[in-house]
Amino acid sequence: MANKLYCRTFQAGMKIGNYFLGYRTPEYIEGPGSVRKLPEMIRRRGVYKVLLVTDQSLLKLGLPDGLIKAMDEARLEYVIFADIQPNPTDENVEEGYRVYKENYCQGIVAFGGGSPIDCAKGIAAKNAHPKKTVSQMQGILKVHKRIVPFWAVPTTAGTGSETTLAAVITEAKTHHKASINDPSILPRYAVLDPELTVGLPKKITATTGLDALCHAVEAYTNRTYNTREENERALEAVRLIHDYLYKAYEDGSDLEAREKMQLAAFHAGRAFTRGCVGYVHAVGHTLGGLYGVPHGLAMAVILPHVMRQFGPAVYDRLADLADVCGIKGADRKEKAEAFIAWIDEMKRKMDIPEGFDCIRDEDIDQIIKWADKEANPLYPVPVIWQYEDFRKLIETLRTAGKEAGQPA
């Protein structure tokens, strides 16, 4: 009881404090081919050399080639940093910062999914505080200093990292995942080019799309910190994902579906930047850190289980989401349950497992400790969970994973 009171009191204070944090939405350009306009945009800002942060898989696919060619044509100098883990580590951030300083870069371009963009945010934060370690900047408002010019180019439609104030970084030695949360690291500019997502494999399309759904659903069901803008963006993101995710999954060349999914991820990212995420993310981050479970996959698997466990506390808000999707039900409870059933159906259609059988008995206490530390008291979740609530979710995930015979 005391813990719940503490959490709600903290959140009431944060709700007031949020009005002074200066939330903003990045300026962005969108549409097919828009990435080729980026170098001139950068030059107009008086920046002549950038650190291009991406990853090795994207380089091998040749996805940044169009941007690199445009930078060459615009005579914009660049240094490529691509040594990034799927879950970026503090060591990746430190190395990227070293490359940035040694090459006298003036700004950063992040090109890729959530991993390169989060790593780039970490590099920008490190540049603002050279004497701090990454772990010293993790938490709330530990940067609080203007960063270098920063452009984000998402190549997936899911993380929304191009419009968030969070950078999730894993400590290499302990495998503990934690976020740098500060408006200072929010990119100033974003490029939403659907052509960059056309070649995404079906599995990545599915998991990143459901990651965006998780952002919107958690932000909308949280309520406490939201203004009308966050609520409207969450509703619009859910509607777009309902209408276009499976189309993008079935036909990766459908540019309209790809473009709508990028917008959905952008809206969802902006919604949770202030509205926050919840226990889906808190538990999912631990699985990524301990077992290397891809972030989007963790979100996709865990989301319906958490919403079901919240029960009546989220019926009204989930019913709203059902309404914008045209999902029917006799009352608010039926609509909420039908919305969760739709998520389950999408998972089945896109080959997403029901649970995970990788969770070891000896890790459960650590998972709960890390998840509780991340979520409470910051995340304004509909129901404050205690140890046994987290344990119930973990057992649900393990049981579902074993029954389906599907490891992470």
Q: How do 107-112 and 150-154 pair as beta strands? A: parallel
Question: End of a domain among 173, 197, 221?
Answer: 197
Same domain flag for 167 and 242: no
Nearest-angstrom CA–CA distance, 58 and 215: 24
Same domain flag for 158 and 206: no
Q: Is residue 8 a part of any domain in this protein?
A: no
Same domain flag for 115 and 252: no
Q: Determine the distance from the C-alpha atom of residue 178 to the mean position of all C-alpha atoms in its chain, rounded to a whole number.
A: 13
Q: Is residue 389 a part of any domain in this protein?
A: yes
Same domain flag for 280 and 233: yes
Query: Is 163:26 a contact under the CB 8 Å cutoff?
Result: yes
Task: Please give the structure tokens belonging to residue 60.
Answer: 């091998």
Q: What angle do CA 124, 128, 131 make, to 5 degrees?
A: 115
Which phi and psi angles does 150 have, rounded to 5°?
-140, 120
- Could you tell me where the DSSP H helices lie in 223-294? 228-250, 255-275, 279-291
- DSSP letter assigned to residue 89: B
**Burial bucket for residue 9 (CB in 10 Å: 0-12, 13-18, 19+):** exposed
pLDDT, position 401: 86
Question: End of a domain among 162, 197, 232?
Answer: 197
Nearest Cα neighbor of 25 from 168, 124, 152, 169 is 152
**CATH code at 247?**
1.20.1090.10
Q: Is residue 52 a part of any domain in this protein?
A: yes
In tens digits, the chain (408 residues) has pLDDT values of 779 999 999 999 999 999 888 788 999 999 999 999 999 999 999 999 999 999 999 999 899 999 999 999 999 999 999 999 988 999 999 999 999 999 999 999 999 999 999 999 999 999 999 999 999 999 989 998 999 999 999 999 998 999 999 999 999 999 998 899 999 999 999 999 999 999 889 999 999 999 999 999 999 999 899 999 999 999 999 999 999 999 999 999 999 999 999 999 999 999 999 999 999 999 999 999 999 999 999 999 999 999 999 999 999 999 999 999 999 999 999 999 999 999 999 999 999 999 999 999 999 999 999 999 999 999 999 999 999 999 999 999 999 988 765 544
Task: Please give the structure tokens belonging to residue 83.
Answer: 């040594």
**Burial bucket for residue 101 (CB in 10 Å: 0-12, 13-18, 19+):** middle
Q: Is residue 10 a part of any domain in this protein?
A: no
pLDDT per position as a tens digit, 339-366: 999 999 999 999 999 999 999 999 999 9
Same domain flag for 340 and 247: yes
Question: End of a domain among 165, 197, 229?
Answer: 197
Same domain flag for 231 and 153: no
Same domain flag for 147 and 284: no
Same domain flag for 166 and 221: no
Nearest-angstrom CA–CA distance, 223 and 181: 19
Which whole-number Å values give the CA distances from 390 to 130, 284, 306, 319, 350, in the listed order? 37, 12, 10, 25, 27
Query: Is 221:322 a contact under the CB 8 Å cutoff?
Result: no
What is the extent of the structural domain holding 268?
A: 202-404
User: Can you give the pTM of this predicted structure?
Assistant: 0.91
Same domain flag for 188 and 232: no
Same domain flag for 272 and 375: yes
Nearest Cα neighbor of 201 from 351, 29, 302 is 351
* E strand spans, 309-403: none
Same domain flag for 228 and 298: yes
Nearest Cα neighbor of 50 from 82, 84, 76 is 76
**CATH code at 98?**
3.40.50.1970
Q: Give the number of other Cβ atoms within 10 Å of residue 72's Cβ.
A: 12
Residue with tokens 């934690």: 178
Nearest Cα neighbor of 53 from 108, 130, 122, 113 is 108
pLDDT per position as a tens digit, 26-42: 999 999 999 999 999 99
pLDDT, position 404: 64
Nearest-angstrom CA–CA distance, 221 and 382: 7
- Number of structural domains found in the chain: 2
Residue with tokens 């304004």: 380
Q: Is residue 7 a part of any domain in this protein?
A: no
Nearest Cα neighbor of 220 from 322, 67, 327 is 322
Nearest Cα neighbor of 170 from 262, 263, 285, 53 is 285
Task: Please give the structure tokens belonging to residue 22.
Answer: 């200066």
Same domain flag for 117 and 206: no
Nearest Cα neighbor of 347 from 218, 208, 247, 206 is 206
Which phi and psi angles does 108 have, rounded to 5°?
-130, 135
Q: Is residue 1 a part of any domain in this protein?
A: no
Q: Is residue 9 a part of any domain in this protein?
A: no
Q: Is residue 15 a part of any domain in this protein?
A: no
